[in-house]
Amino acid sequence: MTTGIYAIMNLVNNKVYVGSTTRSFKTRWDVHQSYLRSNNHHNRHLQYAWNKYGEYSFQFTVLEEIKNDTIIIEREQYWLDKFRTNGGVYNFCDCAGQGNAGKPRSASTRKKISMTLTGKSRSAEHNRHLGEALKGRKLSAEHCAKLSKSFPSFLSPDGIIYPAGINLRAFCREHGLARTSMKKIILGKRKNPHRGWRLA
């Protein structure tokens, strides 16, 4: 059985949910998907993003395989800190292993975690793994087709339909549009067209 640290990555904005498991990665991912699909996930930030972007916008990634369970919290903290520094995370808690409710750890527990992390150098291999996890991935044609269903097409002022695709920021930049306004149109928070553009 393979256990360790994993990330649920939003392929649209690169935000991640970092977690650990002492069960198989497949089992853990199946549990997450079950709760997310039923709109009952304990992490409301991740659930909101799942509902907004669609499940095909998320990818489960194994960050590190661990055979020694005694260091699993330490390694989860390492990845949580790295992703928090280099981007955004959906995790509520600053410390790994705090559980779903996000209850604060005791001072002694926080001190132990701090002591395990202080002064430890990060290997080139770990940094390489992080880089691979953070960098953009090339998606298959099938995956792109599924992702496109999560994003609407837009009708231009000229009457031409444009698919927004998976990168709304690039689409708006290309057509001189305000991304925040187009997002409001997608979410139904703006009824009027933006610069003549509306949902197709």
Average pLDDT of the chain, as a whole number = 75
Closest CA to 19 of 87, 90, 109, 70: 90
Q: Which long-range contacts (CB under 8 A, 24 or more apart) does 158-167 make?
A: 161/200, 162/200, 166/11, 166/12, 166/57, 166/139, 167/12
pLDDT digits (tens, 9 = 90+) for 1-41: 568 999 999 998 889 999 998 888 888 999 999 999 999 99
All structural domains of the chain, each given as residue ranges with its CATH number in brackets, are 4-134 (3.40.1440.10), 151-199 (no CATH)
Q: Which two tokens stand for residue 92?
A: 């509520």
Q: What is residue 140's predicted lDDT score, i.e. its pLDDT?
A: 58
What pTM was computed for the model?
0.52
* Cα-Cα end-to-end distance for the chain: 48
Burial of 33 (C-beta count, 10 Å sphere; 0-12/13-18/19+) = middle
